[in-house]
């Protein structure tokens, strides 16, 4: 174990007036850290008070010495095991307290539960969880150094005093800060505190939370960014999983459904904030990537087919006629430059070809993208080479399966287009299913455009579909048309702000396990990388050690 630096710990005490401690002349607690940061003294006869760690206790092994240097008084000393900062003023506080009393008729080492904000006298009669095996009815003694050791996992709590196993409890234990505790006892010294906070996985045991000593800060925003957990030396038996909080609706709680959609609690319900990447889902040695966007069903077309989409290999004008609307154009390899033109929807000459397929050559990311191809000819108007004023042909088009979205959510899609027999003329819409109202995402005309992201905003809560239309414009004036539209990474970005606190909450819910009966026991190196909305990345590494039960 490694000595801790007590200068990084934090003091927190109950309000003396609020808990009724002033009428018992309780002094204000005062934690005094030694210059070398290796010990801390609480010299006052004061209210219940805590001095909590800069690391979490769940999964850690902790050793600490405690003694009372004076012969005055005989009240409480001890430790909190899953203390949350702010619990002394939190009506919903709920943590375990190891409290040792030396007062006659109360003496004994007990594990108790603290809920809400107890009164000063309530600390004499806290709900008892268990008594120490040999010290349950014995008082601590003045000027005597006691050595405590703690090991706590999600399912087991063990506490030793001077080598004697006083508590060996099975159950479900919550995480929190480790804290030194004092109540109405002056002259208490906590010293030689050491901790091993590395993540440990017990072979054949329950999944282990990986967030040991990992904290995020910086004030960044992560909408349309991601959070990636990658075992750089993992095996195919290694599993990374995102679990749900016990109360998904609680403010700040993280939950995940069977489809991989991720939700953030707001106190009364949940809002979708992202999804687990379908290719990096944490199974069988794969990385676990949380995308802070929600792809539509097959929004990246990685199934290699049109699952989640309906293709219409037909003329689009009978569905929605764009004649007379303005359209931005940009030509790079032919005359025309950049500007705004108008749309003239023309009559096909003969039978046009409308094709929708999955493409593996032109993609934004992953292995596949959607391709729509329009080709054929029009009857007119005939003209000369011009970026505007000639005719257009629209079709084929595709629609997504319906999905729910909320006002302010951001729509994001990557698209590319290429001329064929003539210029492309392509469109993307967000269609509200009830009213069939269209919100235009893009309308472009040109000769070629590489994949680039397009964003739009959901105007109101409701059910929506994406609609993408391929068409061609007769720039040359020769009446022969043809072009391709490529679509990839169709996604929905929540209007809910994704902050460092959300990143922390997700990390706290990620677990590691191994499904082998005879696993390789080398230390795993877990790299955690966060990517902000501005595509800035940084990484930290957590070591996962193997142990035995």
One-letter-per-residue 3-state SS of 136-151 = CCCCCCCCCCEEEEEE
The answer to whether the CB of 43 falls within 8 A of the CB of 133 is no
d(CA 78, CA 76): 7
The answer to whether the CB of 208 falls within 8 A of the CB of 544 is yes
The answer to whether the CB of 396 falls within 8 A of the CB of 372 is yes
- In three-state secondary structure terms, 124 is helix
Asked if omega into 381 is within 30° of 0 (cis), the reply is yes
pLDDT digits (tens, 9 = 90+) for 218-253: 778 998 899 999 999 999 999 999 999 989 999 999
Q: Give, in order, the Cα–Cα distances in Å from 85 to each of 7, 14, 246, 389.
A: 16, 12, 20, 68
One-letter-per-residue 3-state SS of 292-335 = CCEECCCCCCCCCCCCCEEEECCCCCCCCCCCCCEEEEECCCCC
| Residue whose tokens read 């040999």 | 134
pLDDT digits (tens, 9 = 90+) for 410-465: 999 999 999 999 999 999 999 999 999 999 999 999 999 999 999 999 999 899 99
d(CA 364, CA 415): 8
Domains 2-197 and 309-493 share a fold: yes
Q: Which CATH class is domain 2-197?
A: mainly beta
pTM score, whole prediction: 0.59
pLDDT for 549 equals: 47
Q: Where are the domains of the chain?
A: 2-197, 203-293+496-547, 309-493
Give the dihedral sign, CA 526/529/530/531: negative
pLDDT for 1 equals: 78
The answer to whether the CB of 514 falls within 8 A of the CB of 203 is yes
d(CA 186, CA 102): 13
Could you tell me which residues come within 8 angstroms of residue 179 by beta carbon, excluding any fewer than 6 positions away? Answer: 50, 51, 52, 53, 79, 80, 83
Tokens of 101: 């009393």
| Residue whose tokens read 């329950």 | 206
H or E, element range at 448: strand 448-457
Enumerate the β-bridge partners of residue 510: 242
> Does the pLDDT of residue 175 top 70, yes or no?
yes
Task: Say what percent of the chain tops pLDDT 90.
Answer: 77
Give the dihedral sign, CA 302/307/310/312: positive
Residues in the chain: 549
Give domain 309-493's CATH architecture.
Sandwich (2.60)
The answer to whether the CB of 499 falls within 8 A of the CB of 227 is no
> Does the pLDDT of residue 547 top 80, yes or no?
no
Asked if omega into 396 is within 30° of 0 (cis), the reply is yes
The answer to whether the CB of 229 falls within 8 A of the CB of 288 is yes
Phi/psi at 124 (nearest 5 deg)? -75, -25
Q: What is the CA radius of gyration of the chain?
A: 32
Higher pLDDT, 333 or 308: 308
Instruction: Supply the mean pLDDT for the chain.
Output: 93
pLDDT digits (tens, 9 = 90+) for 368-395: 999 999 999 999 887 789 999 999 999 9
Tokens of 247: 């109360």
> What does the pLDDT average to over 75-91?
96
pLDDT digits (tens, 9 = 90+) for 495-520: 899 999 999 999 989 999 999 988 89
Q: Which of 14-23, 90-99, 293-302, 321-330 comes out lowest in average pLDDT?
A: 293-302
d(CA 87, CA 91): 8
Tokens of 374: 């329009």
Residue 37's Cβ-side half-sphere holds a number of Cα atoms within 13 Å equal to 10
The answer to whether the CB of 117 falls within 8 A of the CB of 88 is yes
pLDDT for 207 equals: 86
pLDDT digits (tens, 9 = 90+) for 323-358: 999 999 999 876 779 999 999 999 999 999 999 999
DSSP-assigned letters across all residues of 7-74: GG-EEEE--TTTTT-GGGTPBPP--EE-TTSSEEEE-S-BS-EEEEEEEE-TT-EEEEEEEE-SSS--
DSSP character at residue 205: S
Closest C-alpha among 132, 1, 9 to residue 61: 1
Residue 9's Cβ-side half-sphere holds a number of Cα atoms within 13 Å equal to 28
> What does the pLDDT average to over 290-309?
89
Tokens of 126: 């806290």
> What does the pLDDT average to over 140-159?
92
d(CA 430, CA 417): 19
The answer to whether the CB of 354 falls within 8 A of the CB of 396 is yes
d(CA 278, CA 302): 9
Q: pLDDT band at 216, cuts 50/70/90?
A: confident
pLDDT for 548 equals: 55
Q: Which of 192-196, 197-201, 478-482 comes out lowest in average pLDDT?
A: 197-201
Higher pLDDT, 193 or 215: 193
């Amino acid at each position: 174990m490694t000595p801790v630096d007590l200068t990084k710990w934090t003091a927190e005490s109950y309000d003396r007036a609020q808990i009724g401690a002033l009428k018992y002349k309780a002094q204000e607690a005062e934690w005094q850290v030694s210059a070398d940061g290796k010990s801390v003294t609480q010299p006052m006869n004061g209210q219940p008070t805590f001095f909590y760690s800069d690391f979490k206790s769940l999964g850690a092994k902790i050793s600490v010495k405690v003694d009372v240097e004076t012969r005055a008084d005989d009240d409480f000393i001890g430790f909190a095991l899953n203390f949350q900062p702010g619990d002394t003023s939190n009506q919903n506080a709920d943590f375990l307290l190891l409290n040792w009393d030396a007062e006659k008729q109360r003496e004994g080492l007990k594990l108790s539960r603290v809920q809400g904000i107890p009164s000063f006298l309530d600390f004499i009669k806290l709900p008892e969880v268990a008594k120490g095996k040999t010290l349950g009815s014995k008082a601590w003694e003045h000027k005597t150094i006691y050595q405590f050791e703690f090991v706590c996992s999600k399912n087991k709590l063990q506490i030793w005093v001077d080598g004697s196993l006083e508590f060996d409890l099975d159950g479900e234990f919550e995480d929190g800060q480790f804290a030194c505790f004092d109540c109405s006892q002056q002259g208490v010294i906590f010293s030689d505190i050491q901790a091993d906070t590395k993540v440990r996985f017990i072979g054949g045991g329950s999944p282990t939370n990986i967030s040991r000593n990992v904290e995020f800060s910086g004030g960044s925003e992560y909408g349309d960014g991601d959070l990636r957990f990658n075992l750089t030396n993992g095996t195919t038996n290694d599993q990374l999983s995102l679990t749900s909080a016990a109360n998904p609706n609680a403010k700040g709680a993280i939950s995940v459904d069977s489809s991989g959609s991720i939700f953030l609690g707001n106190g009364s319900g949940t809002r979708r904030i992202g999804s687990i990447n379908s290719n990096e889902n944490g199974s069988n040695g794969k990385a676990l990537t949380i995308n802070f966007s929600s792809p539509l069903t097959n929004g990246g077309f990685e199934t290699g087919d049109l699952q989640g989409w309906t293709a219409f290999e037909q003329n689009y004008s009978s569905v929605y006629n764009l004649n007379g609307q303005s359209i931005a154009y940009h030509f790079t390899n032919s005359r025309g430059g950049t500007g705004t033109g108008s749309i003239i929807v023309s009559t096909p000459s003969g039978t046009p070809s409308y094709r929708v397929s999955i493409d593996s050559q032109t993609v934004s990311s992953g292995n596949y993208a959607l391709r729509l191809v329009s080709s054929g000819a029009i009857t007119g108007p005939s003209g000369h080479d011009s970026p505007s004023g000639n005719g257009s042909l629209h079709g084929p088009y595709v629609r997504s399966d319906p999905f729910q979205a909320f006002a302010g959510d951001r729509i994001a899609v990557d698209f590319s287009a290429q001329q064929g027999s003539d210029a492309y003329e392509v469109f993307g819409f967000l269609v509200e299913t009830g009213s069939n109202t269209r919100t235009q995402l893009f309308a472009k005309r040109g000769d070629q455009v590489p994949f680039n992201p397009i964003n739009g905003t959901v105007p109101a809560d409701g059910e929506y579909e994406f609609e993408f239309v391929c068409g061609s414009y007769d720039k040359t004036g020769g009446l022969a048309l043809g072009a391709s539209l490529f679509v990839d990474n169709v996604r929905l970005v929540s209007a809910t702000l994704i902050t460092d606190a959300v990143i922390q909450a997700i990390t706290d819910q990620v677990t590691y396990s191994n499904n082998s009966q005879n696993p390789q026991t080398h230390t795993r190196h877990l790299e955690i990388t966060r990517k902000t909305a501005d595509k800035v990345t940084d990484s930290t590494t957590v070591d996962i050690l193997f142990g035995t039960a």
